[in-house]
Amino acid sequence: MLRKIFFILITTIILGITGYFTFLYYATYSEGVRSGELIKISSKGMIFKTYEGELSQGISGAKIFTFSVLDKDTKVIEAMKNMQGQYVKVTYIERYKTFPWWGDTKYFVTEVQKEKSPHLNR
């Protein structure tokens, strides 16, 4: 009887932990698009190398959008390296939490494209 209760308890704990991490891995909190000047894209980390970036959304960097890019998105990483310092539009997803091997933020850029700066027309 005691073995059966112990087995059910351990199985429930393992299934709960697995369900929690599966949810964090696949679920997204929000999706969106932001534009601004791409001021930074870099690879950083001691154990886990991740790609982190910053998008300036205001005049003189008054509002900064900090994001991560997953290693598997090599096209996005290369495009951002080439577009650094330019006005871009990024498509991103926001996750509930992140893992150390994904990046520092909950925002993950999935696409990037060059945009015309609204500040140049004034």
**pLDDT tens digits, 47-69:** 888 999 999 887 766 789 999 99
Model pLDDT, residue 16: 95
Model pLDDT, residue 14: 96
Span 28-117 CATH architecture:
Beta Barrel (2.40)
pTM of the model: 0.80
Please name the helix (run of DSSP H) or strand (run of DSSP E) that holds residue 16, with its range, or none: helix 2-26
Q: How far is CA 78 from the centre of its chain?
A: 16
Model pLDDT, residue 46: 85
Q: Kindly state the average pLDDT of the residues 82-97.
A: 93
Model pLDDT, residue 100: 84
Q: For residue 100, which amino acid is it?
A: P
Model pLDDT, residue 97: 87
Q: Kindly state the average pLDDT of the residues 90-106.
A: 90
**pLDDT(122) > 60:** no
Q: Where are the domains of the chain?
A: 28-117
Closest CA to 59 of 119, 4, 120: 119
Query: pLDDT confidence of 95, banded at 50, 70, 90?
Result: very high
**pLDDT tens digits, 5-57:** 999 999 999 999 999 989 988 888 999 999 999 999 999 888 888 999 999 88
Phi and psi based region of residue 61 (left: phi greater than 0; alpha: psi -120 to 50; beta: remaining): left
